[in-house]
């Protein structure tokens, strides 16, 4: 109860400070929903391609994260790192030598990481925050030795010379989703990736994407990076308003077959949720398979959401893959959840379908189907015009129902949350 009283005092003080400085803000019903995307660049720094990438990011006021190879940092390239940092980019760790680290000893691994940290600290004043393993090769020993969150990202194949700028751009656009991490390379001479960025940046802006660093991505999606997970996206849990239609038990620990006819009939209104355990951080995948005709197909789809215990695959991602392959569900010989890479044990899968006529939740400005302190913090930052803070659902903050957002709505929101907390605490006391 003391925590609640403190919260009330804090709310009153905050309201008193805000009431003189926060104007009434009339919000248009046409406000676009913000989607977050994290562009990341490997294999720098250098004085050519890195700066070309920074020029494009600067043009669009975009933030990104750069994973540096330690041996590429020298007196000249350090200027590119400093420029990136001063622009608000995040500087991250891609090892000293870009060697296969999964077979290294703990001492060798730590040297690879600390070398980059020391170089980056000399330039920026702070160490790196995330790690991308060379060749995306991970192991239990690597997880144990590296005290940083591990990042992968959607593969745009921009490390292959025969992949054109347009093809790279297509990979980015096809994989773009709220919370997605895009894996690119700013290695010296990689002009086709620079050209691909020139193609996709205006398209992503038009589609409502905001370009953020990895740190901001985690913070704004309400996720805390966990150990032993290799992140390719940081999505909000997407199925709060879904209901279970069918549960499928695992016949083997590494594969759960799915009924493609059922999925086809469900259209775009389904999701596949899976419980799993992973020893190396890799999530399971959806595998599309065809072996009875030519060309044969083995195509994998990464989950849109995963947290080390639960993975969610969206219908739209599966349909997008089928469109890319120019086939339909009926052209497949099989579709399954598969433990494709690493030590993964599958438990069971659920077919979920969207709940019809789900009501909006008042106060849920971040649109994650829960009203909690994260919503209050987001709304308060928005009222104070904190840069890059936007509301996913502004109507959920309009407690006065006047199409204006101001400090009075904030006070009512805090009062509603305190009442909810008080009820919850009373219920706990009653059950004790």
How far, in Å, CA of 76 to CA of 129, rounded? 23
Domains along the chain with CATH numbers: 2-27+359-431 (1.10.1330.10), 35-231 (3.20.20.370), 242-354 (2.60.120.1070)
Q: Are 287 and 299 in contact (CB under 8 A)?
A: yes
Structure confidence by residue, pLDDT tens digits, 329-359: 999 999 999 987 768 899 889 999 987 644 4
Question: How high is the pLDDT of residue 362?
Answer: 85
Q: How far is CA 26 from CA 17, 139, 145, 393, in A?
A: 21, 52, 51, 14
Beta-carbon contacts of residue 245 (< 8 Å; ≥ 6 apart): 266, 270, 350, 351, 352, 353
Q: Are 201 and 169 in contact (CB under 8 A)?
A: no
Q: Residue 288 phi/psi, 5° resolution?
A: -95, 125
278 — pLDDT class (breaks 50, 70, 90): confident
Q: What is the 3-state secondary structure (H, E, C) of the chain?
A: CHHHHHHHHHHHHHHHHHCCCCCCEECCCCCCCCEEEEEEEEEECCCCHHHHHHHHHHHCCCCCEEEECHHHCCCCHHHHHHHHHHCCCEEEECCCCCCCCCCCCHHHHHHHHHHHHHHHHHHHCCCCCCECCHHHCCCHHHHHHCCCCEECCEECCCCCCCCCHHHHHHHHHHHCCCCEEEEEECCCCCHHHHHHHHHHHHHHHHCCEEECCHHHHHHHHCCCCCCCCEECECCCCCCCCEEEEEEEECCECCEEEECHHHHHHHCCCEEEEEEEEECCCCCCEEEEEECCCCCCEEEEECCCEECCCEEEEEHHHHHHHHHHHCCCHHHCCEEEEECCCCCEEEEEEEEEEECCCCCCCCCCCCCCCCCCHHHHHHHHHHHCCCCCCCCCCHHHHCCCCCCEECHHHHHHHHHHHHHHHHHHHHHHHHHC
Question: How high is the pLDDT of residue 390?
Answer: 81
Q: Are 93 and 116 in contact (CB under 8 A)?
A: yes
Both tokens of 169, joined, read: 């751009």
Structure confidence by residue, pLDDT tens digits, 147-199: 999 999 999 999 999 999 999 999 999 999 899 999 999 999 999 999 999 99
Sequence-separated contacts (24+) of 202-208 with Cβ below 8 Å = 202/60, 203/173, 204/37, 204/172, 204/173, 204/176, 205/60, 207/35, 207/176, 208/32, 208/33, 208/34, 208/35
How far, in Å, CA of 268 to CA of 246, rounded? 16
Q: For tokens 């605490």, what's the residue?
A: 425
393 — pLDDT class (breaks 50, 70, 90): confident
Beta-carbon contacts of residue 225 (< 8 Å; ≥ 6 apart): 130, 149, 218, 231
Question: How high is the pLDDT of residue 33?
Answer: 61
42 is catalytic: yes
Pick the catalytic residue from 185, 375, 393, 409: 185
Q: How many CA atoms lie within 13 A of 249 on its CB side?
A: 1
Beta-carbon contacts of residue 81 (< 8 Å; ≥ 6 apart): 44, 45, 66, 68, 73, 91, 120, 123, 124
Question: How high is the pLDDT of residue 425?
Answer: 53
185 is catalytic: yes
Structure confidence by residue, pLDDT tens digits, 111-145: 999 999 999 999 999 999 999 999 999 988 999 99
Beta-carbon contacts of residue 124 (< 8 Å; ≥ 6 apart): 81, 82, 85, 91
Mean pLDDT, rounded, for 255-259: 94
91 — pLDDT class (breaks 50, 70, 90): very high
Question: How high is the pLDDT of residue 351?
Answer: 96
- Of all residues in the chain, what percent carry a pLDDT higher than 70? 88
Structure confidence by residue, pLDDT tens digits, 20-39: 344 444 444 344 467 999 99
Q: Indicate if the alpha-carbon torsion angle 362, 406, 416, 421 is positive or negative.
A: positive
Question: How high is the pLDDT of residue 36?
Answer: 96
pLDDT-wise least confident of 45-49, 162-166, 188-192, 300-304: 300-304
């Amino acid at each position: 109860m003391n925590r609640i009283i403190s919260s009330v005092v804090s709310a009153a003080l905050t309201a008193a400070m805000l009431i003189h400085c926060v104007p009434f803000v009339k919000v248009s019903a046409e406000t676009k929903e913000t989607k977050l995307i994290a562009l990341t660049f490997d294999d720098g720094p250098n004085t050519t391609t890195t700066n070309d990438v920074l020029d494009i990011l600067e043009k669009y006021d975009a933030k990104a994260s750069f994973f540096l190879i330690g041996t590429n940092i020298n007196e000249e390239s350090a200027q590119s790192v400093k420029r990136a940092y001063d622009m608000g980019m995040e500087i991250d760790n891609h090892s000293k030598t870009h060697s296969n680290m999964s077979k290294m000893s703990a001492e060798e691994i730590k040297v690879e990481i600390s070398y980059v940290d020391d170089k980056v600290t000399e330039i920026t004043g702070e160490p790196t925050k995330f790690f991308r393993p060379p060749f995306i090769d991970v192991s239990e020993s690597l997880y144990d030795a590296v005290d940083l969150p591990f990042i992968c990202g959607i593969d745009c194949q921009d490390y292959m010379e025969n992949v054109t700028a347009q093809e790279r751009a297509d990979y980015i656009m096809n994989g773009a989703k709220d919370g997605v991490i895009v894996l690119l390379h700013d290695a010296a001479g990689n002009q086709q990736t620079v050209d691909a960025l020139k193609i996709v940046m205006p398209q992503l802006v038009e589609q409502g994407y905001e370009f953020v660093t990895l740190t901001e991505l985690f913070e704004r999606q309400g996720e805390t990076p966990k150990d032993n997970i290799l992140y390719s996206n940081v999505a909000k849990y997407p199925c709060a308003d879904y209901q279970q239609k069918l549960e499928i038990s695992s016949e083997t620990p590494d594969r759960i077959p799915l009924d493609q006819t059922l999925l086809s009939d469900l259209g775009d209104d389904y999701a596949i949720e899976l419980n799993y355990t992973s020893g190396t951080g890799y999530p399971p995948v959806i595998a599309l398979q065809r072996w009875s005709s030519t060309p044969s197909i083995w195509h994998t789809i990464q989950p849109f959401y995963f947290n080390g215990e639960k993975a969610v695959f969206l219908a739209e991602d599966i349909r997008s893959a089928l469109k890319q392959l120019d086939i339909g569900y009926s052209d497949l010989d099989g579709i399954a959840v598969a433990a494709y890479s690493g030590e993964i044990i599958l438990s069971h899968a659920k077919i979920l379908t969207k709940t019809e006529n789900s009501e909006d939740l008042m106060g849920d400005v971040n649109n994650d189907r829960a009203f909690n302190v994260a919503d209050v913090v987001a709304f308060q930052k928005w009222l104070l015009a904190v840069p890059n803070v936007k509301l996913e659902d502004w109507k959920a903050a309009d407690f006065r129902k006047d199409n204006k957002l101001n400090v009075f709505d904030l006070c009512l929101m805090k009062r509603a949350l305190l009442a909810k907390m008080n009820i919850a605490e009373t219920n706990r006391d009653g059950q004790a």
